[in-house]
């Protein structure tokens, strides 16, 4: 196992990962952020260099053992057995904490289950449709006659409490802290009312993925979601990032919106695997 600390190697890795789209998108987004200042303090682990078979991105420093939001890893592998070996026989992953692994290869779920069993760790998996806006010119212009008392702006750290309450994955102090960190580190867009209160928003995570796109129920069907999503997507494009996101199959309003924005639904799904050591299962997080 090697931790890539060389900026030259990390730049080279970014170029190599582009050849393996779309499966490498999650790792690619994290590596791009590392190469552009590393605001989230991530690092890259490979099984070998330069002919690697596995790449994992992980937090650079020890974090709260119960914070699976920050303890998030992205993985891309060329050979499943090499990935399993890296999980089993190295300290690439801290199996003593609650953590998650993200990726676009179905095998990560089965490999996690197999390795976790021997380490007394519970595994919960979820999958989503993966979407990408491959060309900024395909994003339709948004012509919205917005009430002049509303403004298009960036999210502020003071908004993290509202985001935490409205996110399906949130509702706890660790999530609020994580969202505040994302707001500080990465691009976001929101619509504010005349009191500076967010009505609609979207932000970006450490994998350069658009997440938590949300509009307050009383302000839906006014075009805010389309405006926010399009604005953030074009912002990411202008910075050189691939605009990626994920959506539940059953979330028909979001699926319909994305299709109307000419989003490309990828053939591979996005998988999130949350690992919880047995010792934490009975404890509130």
pLDDT tens per residue across span 230-268: 899 999 999 999 999 999 888 888 888 888 888 899 999
Tokens of 124: 């919960």
- Residues with Cβ within 8 Å of 70's Cβ and at least 6 positions away in sequence, in order, are 59, 63, 64, 174, 178, 181
Q: How many residues does the chain have?
A: 285
- Residue 43's pLDDT is 97
Bridge partners, 102 (sequence order): 74, 272
- Residue 145's pLDDT is 66
Please identify every stretch of the chain with a pLDDT value under 70, giving residue numbers as ranges. Answer: 134, 136-145, 283-285
Phi first, then psi: what are they for 230, rounded to 5°? -65, -45
- Residues with Cβ within 8 Å of 251's Cβ and at least 6 positions away in sequence, in order, are none
pLDDT digits (tens, 9 = 90+) for 184-205: 999 999 999 999 999 999 999 9
252/220 Cα distance (integer angstroms): 14
What is the residue whose two structure tokens read 């202008």?
A: 238
- Residue 249's pLDDT is 84
29/9 Cα distance (integer angstroms): 16
| In the chain, ranges of CATH 3.40.630.30 domains | 2-128+270-280, 135-241
- Residue 214's pLDDT is 95
- Residue 253's pLDDT is 85
Tokens of 156: 């502020």
Phi first, then psi: what are they for 109, rounded to 5°? -70, -50
Decide if 208 contacts 239 (C-beta within 8 A): no
- Residue 136's pLDDT is 64
26/31 Cα distance (integer angstroms): 9
Does the domain made of 135-241 have the CATH classification 3.40.630.30? Answer: yes
Tokens of 272: 């999130």
Does the domain made of 2-128+270-280 have the CATH classification 3.40.630.30? Answer: yes
Q: Is the model's pTM score more than 0.75?
A: yes
Nearest residue to 208 (alpha-carbon basis) of 37, 86, 6: 37
């Amino acid at each position: 196992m090697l931790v890539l600390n060389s900026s030259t190697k990390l730049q080279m890795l970014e170029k190599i990962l582009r050849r393996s789209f779309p499966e490498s998108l999650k790792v690619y987004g994290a590596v791009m952020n590392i190469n552009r200042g590393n605001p989230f303090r991530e690092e890259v682990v490979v099984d070998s260099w330069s002919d690697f078979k596995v790449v994992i991105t992980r937090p650079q420093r020890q974090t709260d053992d119960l914070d699976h939001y920050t303890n998030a890893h992205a993985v891309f592998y060329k050979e499943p057995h090499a990935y399993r070996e890296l999980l089993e026989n190295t300290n690439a992953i801290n199996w003593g904490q609650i953590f998650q692994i993200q990726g676009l290869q179905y095998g990560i779920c089965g490999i996690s289950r197999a390795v976790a069993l021997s380490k007394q760790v519970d595994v919960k998996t979820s999958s989503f449709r993966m979407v990408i806006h491959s060309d900024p010119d395909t994003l339709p212009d948004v012509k919205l006659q917005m009430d002049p008392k509303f403004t298009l702006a960036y999210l502020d750290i003071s908004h993290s409490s509202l985001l935490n309450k409205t996110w399906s994955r949130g509702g706890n102090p660790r999530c609020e802290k994580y969202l505040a960190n994302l707001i500080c580190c990465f691009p976001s867009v929101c619509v504010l009312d005349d009191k500076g209160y967010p009505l609609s928003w979207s932000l970006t995570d450490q994998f350069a993925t658009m997440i938590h796109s949300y509009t307050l129920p009383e302000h839906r069907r006014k075009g805010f979601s389309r405006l926010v999503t399009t604005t953030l997507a074009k912002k990411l494009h202008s910075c050189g990032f691939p605009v990626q996101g994920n959506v539940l199959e059953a979330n028909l309003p979001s699926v319909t919106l994305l299709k109307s924005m000419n989003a490309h639904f990828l053939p591979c799904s996005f998988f999130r695997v949350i690992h919880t050591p047995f010792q934490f299962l009975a404890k509130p997080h």
